Chain A
Amino acid sequence: MNKKFHELISEASKVVLDKNVEIRLAMTCLLAGGHLLIEDLPGVGKTTLVQVLGKLTGLKTRRIQFTIDLLPADAIGGQVFHPQEQKFVFHPGPLFSQLVMADELNRASPRTQSALLQAMEEGEVSVDGTNWPLPKPFYVIATQNPHQQTGTFPLPESQLDRFLMSLELHHASKETEVRLLQGEDPRGLLNKIHALFSEGEIEQALQQVQAVKVAPAVANYIADILERSRRAGFEGAPLSTRAGMALVRAAKAWAFLEGRDYVRPDDVQQVLVPVLGHRLGGNHGIKRGREWAVALQKATAVPV
């Protein structure tokens, strides 16, 4: 099964150049059943990444561009009156798809943000007292502009916590940029690739990830990391138990991608910065958080 994912990653790398690690982490996040937050400047390839992933996984992909005047109903959908049948009928919004790209999430008003985040957490939306389940798998990739930029509503810590991972997409290296500038428009390439997964396969993989084993030694290591983040003198926000559970889920998915049915501390370290970056950063921003995450990893001894 994981071979298919490797194939996907190599295919995606052909379109989104120089973003190997990020693609892999994005897949890890999907396999762990979490949601992904990408923070970076416009024009570094966020949208392309999402589109490629959507296409290759065969998931139904929608994009919601968040603006300050976007209302919750615009994303979720709403009740529309049908005059013939004399009743209101629910029209699902763009949120009702398997892979949702929430572009520039921090430009939306807190009210709209929280509507989306609630849907992410619960896997269903409720409109006028009726619950509508979202399709499965449900994977949100949200992007946000660096929080210093004007016209943003920064996400509060409690809502940042709903994202399993956060990523930064850096500017491509010069060589890559040269290739990009010479080569085809990535959007053109997009039309040439095809889905690698049939319906239900992704969900099956998600279940296999759940079955990955976590040995006591590894759980101990994660507990040590949490404990260390709570010690006096550590700058970042203290980590919650939920953060630890997120770390376990992400490490399991990473181990699955590696083709193993058990987690090594090495897997934990691979996903540590993306999983903990935004949680440690809090209102200092993801960038600082990632630095602290690296420091935390260095400071925590790995037990045998």
Chain B
Amino acid sequence: MTDRKFFSQKALAFSFVTAMVMVGIEVSPWIAFSSVGLLIWKWGVENLKWKPLSKKVTGVLSIALLVQILLQFRTFIGQEPSYTFLLGLSGLRVMDYRNERDHRFLVLLGFVLVSVKALFSLDIYWIIPSALAFAGLWYSLLPGALPHKGRVLLKVFALSVPAAVIMFFAFPRVVLPWAMSRGSNTGQIGFSEELNPGNVAELAGISTMVFRAKLSETGIKNAENLYWRGSVLPYSRGLSWRPGTLGLRAPEKGTEVSKSSLYEIALEPHSNTYLFVLDGTSEVQLEQGRTMSLNGDIYRSARPLMTTTVYRAKWSEGSKDTLAPDEDYLRTPEMRGRVLEWVEQTKKDAAGTEERLQALQDLFAKNDFTYSLNPGVYGGPNDLEAFLFYRKRGFCEHFAGAYATLARSLGIPSRVVVGYQGGRYNPMGDFWRVTQRDAHAWVEVFHQGVWQRKDPTSWVAPLRLVIGAEDFFNLSEEDQKVFARNVQWRPSKDSGITLWDRAEFLIDDLNYRWTYFLVDFDRSSQKSFWQSLADMKLQMILGLIFVTVIGVLLFRSLFRTKGLVSEERVLFLAVQKWAEKRNQPQESGETPLHYLTRLAEENPQQREALRDIGHFIDQKAYAGERLERQSQHLLRLWKQAVEKGS
């Protein structure tokens, strides 16, 4: 693209290729590679004199592209077919690039590519290249003759910033029922409706983020104590557990005024409606009518969580569920074989609930159980027996499931809780990052009038809880086995936080802030923002106004020349406006100088000022004199002359 110069082609090439790469990552390889091929071909045409494709060929290829998309996806509607079509079309249009019209078309196509990408993935990683490409496309639209293109672009951008900020905070947010969701691929897998052996282990193999939590007010510093409740499973099938209807929680009567503190969770979109909360949460604050509070201290969202959702929750230390269970919480499948033997034996040996619980704990702590991500598949008529007495390999859900079933058969009401445990603390942003790796299951037993947490995993592999899932699963299988019960042991790591960790924390923090403050600044956030503005002291508001005024003044002095309008034009327009009011308009085709002379003759009171202005315009616009800063003075003189006349 060297000999045909209409606009900045370098900027176009850079931005357009960036946009294509961004979209190219999302589509099937064949279209990505053929687009890259077309780009390389075009490069060859421009630089190595290769033979270009004719317009006829590219036209035929466009139709072929459409047919291929129809064959591959059976539809044109949807994210992937449209990405594919856009990308293919982009490659072909680059091939066709010949004249100014093609340039503009490519810019348009580039805007579409960038905005489509930005619509579907709002992560900060994509926003930066998107913004760059966007700016580049604008830059390539500025005519080549413009002397300070970069400066013009910056000026326009800087001028638009205040308006954009005001619009961002003040523009009314509406939730349209037909509004586009952020794509189907963002609904991550999560807990399914039931807990089958292996489910949690499967989840824990993925490192996708589930939510971030800010706990600074609660004062929790230890990952060990972080149990994030997702759902409660009341139906036992032996080793596996099923969900059941929990029922809406009755409104609390006597609200105990214990010391409670707020924490905040930013939940990524997932396929269920679970709102994960910390163990000990008494209230979740989300949009009105969006949360459902269920028995068992479980919270659900009324709508699917299609976007990142931010909610606050009230937590107090030691707050426990006290709702007495019915006999359903004692129901188990029929016990057989060695399991039945063990139950009968324990019933005989231990009379009280305390003793029975101790016996249960001993079963898990003293037998040689292995905590493993790959415990193998359990099945058959008595999987409980196979797990407890023969294979003895399991993940948290096996331990929790087995424990709860045994507890029930010993007459202790119990249930399985699924959710997450621990998380990774980000010291940069002071928040906890919880990923699928932290997926966990534990047990609650009803004893002494409250539901108490029992985590069999903490007896089998306490190290997992102490160092966190991420570090634990990074160990080799042998190490996991050897060190699982050694709470003091730590993986040999470089001491402290490495530079890489720091960078990771920083990027994660940035992404969190980005999501929280920009992407998901929705109706509720807006409301609370204005609410907090109203709550602020009057002084604060006055201070804000003062700062704004200073800012405006600063901006005014920065852009004294009124953007792209020349000084002489400003002056002339001022005169023209004045004269038009006096019914002395400029005649068609009349030169500015002639007009000013005529006005000077017709208006003796402004004669001097008009002559000066005429002289200034003549010298500045036509003679090419650099008369800087004179127009301000003239404008003042002109205003004086007008006032004198009126």
Contact B621 A304 (CB under 8 A): yes
Check A114 for interface membership: any CB of B closer than 8 A: no
Residue contact A262 to B622, C-beta cutoff 8 Å: yes
How many interface residues does B have (CB within 8 Å)?
18
Out of B572, B573, B588, B591, name the residue touching A264 (CB < 8 Å).
Answer: B591
Quick one: closest A residue to B569, CB to CB? A304
Whether B496 is near chain A, meaning CB under 8 Å from some CB there, is: no
**In the complex, residue of chain B having the shortest beta-carbon distance to the beta carbon of A215:** B622
Q: Mark B97-131, 1 if CB is under 8 A from A, else 0.
A: 00000000000000000000000000000000000
Q: Which of A260, A261, A266 contacts B591 (CB 8 A)?
A: A266
Contacts of A300 in B (CB 8 A): 589
Please determine whether B588 and A299 come into contact, CB atoms closer than 8 angstroms: yes
**Residues in B whose Cβ lies below 8 Å from that of A208:** none
Complex: A263 Cα to B569 Cα, angstroms: 18
CB of B593 within 8 A of CB of A213, answer no
Given contacts A304-B566, A304-B572, contact A265 B624 (CB under 8 A): no
Q: Which residue of A lies closest to B621 (CB)?
A: A217
Residue from B568, B589, B623, B624 within 8 A of A302 (CB atoms)? B589
Interface of chain B, main secondary structure: helix
In the complex where A304-B566, A304-B568, A304-B569 touch, is A215 in contact with B621 (Cβ < 8 A)? yes
* Residues A215 and B588 in contact, CB atoms below 8 Å apart: no
Q: Point out the residues of chain B lying under 8 angstroms from A298, CB to CB.
A: 588-589
Judge whether A210 is part of the interface by a CB distance below 8 angstroms: no
Q: Which residues of B contact A213 (CB under 8 A)?
A: 623-624
CB of B617 closer than 8 Å to a CB of A: yes
Q: Residues of A contacting B590 with CB < 8 Å?
A: 302
B618 within 8 A of A: yes
B594 at the A interface (CB under 8 A): yes
Within 8 A of B (CB), among A249-302: 260-266, 269, 297-302
Instruction: Decide if A218 is an interface residue (CB 8 Å cutoff).
Output: yes
The contact size tier of chain A is 10 to 19
Interface residues of A in 9-29 (CB under 8 A from B): none
Contacting pair B618 A264 (CB below 8 A):
yes
State whether A269 and B591 are in contact (beta carbons under 8 Å apart), knowing that A304-B566, A304-B568, A304-B569 are contacts in the complex.
yes
A260 to B593, alpha carbons, bound, how many Å? 15
B243 at the interface (CB under 8 A from A): no
Interface centre among A261, A263, A298, A302 (most CB of B within 10 A): A302
Given the complex of chains A and B, what is the CA–CA distance between A215 and B566 in angstroms? 14
Contact A264/B589 with A218-B622, A304-B621 known, Cβ cut-off 8 Å: no
- The answer to whether A215 touches B589, judged by C-beta atoms less than 8 angstroms apart, is no
The proximity string for B residues 560-603 relative to A, scoring 1 for CB distances below 8 Å and 0 otherwise, is: 00000010110011000000000000001111111000000000
Residues on A with C-beta less than 8 A from B568 are: 304
Chain B CB within 10 Å, residue with most, of A262, A298, A300:
A262
Measured between C-beta atoms, what is the minimum distance from B619 to chain A in Å?
9
Contact flags A202-226 to B (C-beta < 8 A → 1, else 0): 0000000000010101100000000
Q: How far is the CA of A266 from the CA of B597 in the complex (A)?
A: 12
A215 touches B624 (CB 8 A): yes
Which residues of chain B are near A218, meaning CB under 8 Å?
Answer: 622
As a 0/1 sequence over residues 613 to 646 of chain B, the CB contacts with chain A under 8 angstroms (1 = contact) are 0000110011110000000000000000000000
**Are the CB atoms of B589 and A299 closer together than 8 Å?**
yes
Q: Whole-angstrom distance between the alpha carbons of A145 and B623 in the complex?
A: 41
CB distance from B601 to the nearest CB of A (A): 16
Complex Cα gap A304–B613 (Å): 12
A304/B617 in contact, CB under 8 A: yes
What residues of chain A lie closer than 8 Å to B617, measured between beta carbons?
304
Nearest CB of A to B584, in Å: 17
Q: State the B residues within 8 Å of A (CB).
A: 566, 568-569, 572-573, 588-594, 617-618, 621-624
Extra 10 A-B pairs, beta carbons < 8 Å, given A264-B593, A304-B572: A215-B621, A217-B621, A217-B622, A262-B622, A265-B592, A269-B591, A299-B588, A301-B588, A302-B590, A304-B566
